[in-house]
Amino acid sequence: MASRIVLARASRAFLQKEVGRRAIHASSAAAGRVLCLDNIDPVCVEIFKERGHQADVKNGLTVPELCSIIGDYDGMVIRSATKVTGEVLKHASNLKVVGRAGVGIDNIDVPECTKAGVMVMNTPGGNTVSTAQLAVTLLCAAARRISEADASMKSGKWERKKFMGTELGGKTIAVVGCGRIGQQVAKWAQGFGMKVIGFDPAMPKDIAEEKGIHLMELDDIWSQADFITLHTPLTPDTKDLISDASIAKMRDGVIIVNCARGGIINEAALLRGLESGKVASAALDVYSSEPPPESAKGLIAHPRVVCTPHLGASTEEAQVNVARDVAVQMCDTLAGIDYVGVVNVDYMAMANEPMMKPYLELGEIIGKLHSQTTTGKIKKVTVRTYGGKLISIETSTARRVLQAQVLKGLCAYLPGNTTIPSLINAPYLASELGIETAIDKKVHQSLVNSPYSNVITVDVELEGGRKRTISGSVFGTEGNIVQIDNYKSFPAFQPEGTLLTFRNEDRPGAVSDVLRILSDASINVARMNVGRQEGELALCLMDLDAVPAPAVVEQLKGLGSLSDVFLANVA
């Protein structure tokens, strides 16, 4: 028990620290510090300053330099150059949000950010036109061999016969990834009179047809296309999409354009395709490593490769767009007003809805109570919501945010957890700790025919099959615990501060022994609740005005009439 008390105190210190560190609610619109990296357009800093934040611009930082200063910042703005790794996050003790001024987030370790309770956002849309324009420019340049002809002329030659090109009109272009940029490229390709086919698992066929894109299975695309243009993110599914195997299925003389991400093309395979003549030409803006290493020089130097150094978003217009978007989005998020562009957690706006407040507070208390009044490893947590006002706010987002808040409370006191839990990382932490989670809309059997509405029930399954259930109900705006396991006649109560819970023999004197020990230790009992069950020990909860010393709890544990003595902090 002593070790549980030490843990409870340490965890409380943890939580207090967390409140100052991570809480992002509408009330905390205080000025923050934001670090702007990667040559972001100055409009970004202007907006942060207008909104009362301190914004520092630093370009070209080394990883150690970044690690040494990031602890001072609430927000960080990056483009593709800065890598947000676990190492950087270890030093980012105040960081709340990483804002990517652009689309690709493959330079950000998103799971590590989630684990650290840091939101990640991007600004899709701001550089769509710019990047689509570069893709079409490269497509034309590759089709008309512009860079070869340019190099030839610059070397003093006049080689009119050498650079025979190909027309786009009447040819088929495959757009792989039909999102914002892919659709824009498709539109302009149609302007050239091209037939557009495409592949995108997330795009409905009818919408694609409306946009003039004939969707096909990926495997069927290769043999149909004269041109292939890539517009997907780099994911495990898209890594090495262009490989020896896919190139072998392509038409002879195919032209490939990549303005999406290096890594989608296997560069060694592409070089082999160019050398064999299977691939007529390739146009590349992005590389598997940037700047490309020595080993990629053969590809870049190939005469039939047109290349640019990741310039898709490098137009004045796009840079202003993404810098403005990221600043506005981050200011709103830091103020708890809005969460546009956040990619790693989708329920923050719901969490800030005023009507959610009492439910979230109650859910967190139930989570804290569970982990502090249970021995044994927690295997599964099921959150149930039922009745009254809850019905009107019951969306899947509301239920998930409630589940996250319950898990936040639970993880704060869970042995084995060393990470500060937050609304952002709690579901991740629970899963890392091997806890299965579920949401259920059915009322728990202990509350069938109960008079309570607006009920949150949390069932916990422990290793070995034991189960525990705690239910709470919101009365007006106050959360109350209304049921623990199957104990009957349990008066509803609002837990505050320090709770002593125990099971006792249901006979005269059992509870008064406890009161005597507490009184000898000068600890006042603010409130007391007792529940009973036929043939079982009674359950007693006492709200204490002070935290008993470990020796006092040991004395209580020594009473032969008690079992399951726990001290819980629910503040």
Ligand X SMILES: NC(=O)c1ccc[n+]([C@@H]2O[C@H](COP(=O)([O-])OP(=O)(O)OC[C@H]3O[C@@H](n4cnc5c(N)ncnc54)[C@H](O)[C@@H]3O)[C@@H](O)[C@H]2O)c1
Residues that bind ligand X (CB under 6 A): 102-104, 124, 127-128, 131, 176-182, 199-203, 231-233, 235, 237-238, 259-261, 285-286, 310, 312-313
Cα torsion 535, 536, 542, 548: sign: positive
Is residue 517 packed enough to be buried (19+ CB in 10 Å), middle (13-18) or exposed (0-12)? middle
Q: Can you tell me the distance from the alpha carbon of 354 to that of 269, in angstroms, rounded to the nearest whole number? A: 55
User: 3-class SS at 480?
Assistant: strand
Asked if 413 and 8 touch (Cβ cutoff 8 Å), the reply is: yes
Q: Can you tell me the distance from the alpha carbon of 419 to that of 436, in angstroms, rounded to the nearest whole number? A: 18
Question: Is 41 or 226 the residue whose CB approaches ligand 3PG more closely?
Answer: 41
Catalytic residue among 4, 22, 231, 261: 261
String marking each residue 83-112 x if it binds ligand 3PG according to CB under 6 A: -------------------xxx--------
User: Least distance in Å: CB of 320 to ligand 3PG?
Assistant: 13
User: Least distance in Å: CB of 189 to ligand 3PG?
Assistant: 21
Question: Is 224 or 314 the residue whose CB approaches ligand 3PG more closely?
Answer: 314
Q: Can you tell me the distance from the alpha carbon of 408 to that of 424, in angstroms, rounded to the nearest whole number? A: 9
Does the annotation count 310 as an active-site position?
A: yes
Q: Which does 231 bind (CB under 5 to 8 A by kind): ligand 3PG, ligand X, none?
A: ligand X
User: Least distance in Å: CB of 314 to ligand 3PG?
Assistant: 6
Report angle CA 111, 356, 499 to the nearest 5 degrees: 85
78-79-82-86 Cα dihedral, nearest 10 degrees: 60
Q: Can you tell me the distance from the alpha carbon of 370 to that of 366, in angstroms, rounded to the nearest whole number? A: 6
Asked if 196 and 213 touch (Cβ cutoff 8 Å), the reply is: yes
What DSSP character marks residue 355?
G
User: Least distance in Å: CB of 257 to ligand 3PG?
Assistant: 15
> In the complex, which residue's CB is closest to ligand X?
179
Does the annotation count 290 as an active-site position?
A: yes
Q: Binding of ligand 3PG at residue 120 (CB under 6 A)? A: no
Q: Can you tell me the distance from the alpha carbon of 449 to that of 186, in angstroms, rounded to the nearest whole number? A: 60
Catalytic residue among 310, 384, 399, 444: 310
Does the annotation count 53 as an active-site position?
A: no
Residue from the set 80, 382, 422, 454 that interacts with ligand 3PG by CB under 6 A? 80
Q: Which does 512 bind (CB under 5 to 8 A by kind): ligand X, ligand 3PG, none?
A: none
User: Least distance in Å: CB of 297 to ligand X?
Assistant: 20
Question: Is 341 or 409 the residue whose CB approaches ligand X more closely?
Answer: 341
Q: Which does 259 bind (CB under 5 to 8 A by kind): ligand 3PG, ligand X, none?
A: ligand X
Q: Can you tell me the distance from the alpha carbon of 134 to that of 278, in angstroms, rounded to the nearest whole number? A: 24
Q: Can you tell me the distance from the alpha carbon of 209 to that of 198, in angstroms, rounded to the nearest whole number? A: 10
Q: Which does 79 bind (CB under 5 to 8 A by kind): ligand X, ligand 3PG, none?
A: ligand 3PG
Question: Is 207 or 549 the residue whose CB approaches ligand X more closely?
Answer: 207
Q: Can you tell me the distance from the alpha carbon of 187 to that of 545, in angstroms, rounded to the nearest whole number? A: 69
Catalytic residue among 18, 46, 87, 290: 290
DSSP code string of 310-352: S-TT-SHHHHHHHHHHHHHHHHHHHTTS--TTB-S-S-HHHHT
Interacting positions 285-314 with ligand 3PG (CB under 6 A): 310, 312-314
Q: Which does 292 bind (CB under 5 to 8 A by kind): ligand 3PG, ligand X, none?
A: none
Residue 64 CB-half CA count within 13 A = 0
Residue from the set 127, 229, 405, 473 that interacts with ligand 3PG by CB under 6 A? 127
Annotated catalytic residues are 261, 290, 310
Q: Which residues bind ligand 3PG (CB under 6 A)?
A: 79-80, 102-104, 127, 310, 312-314
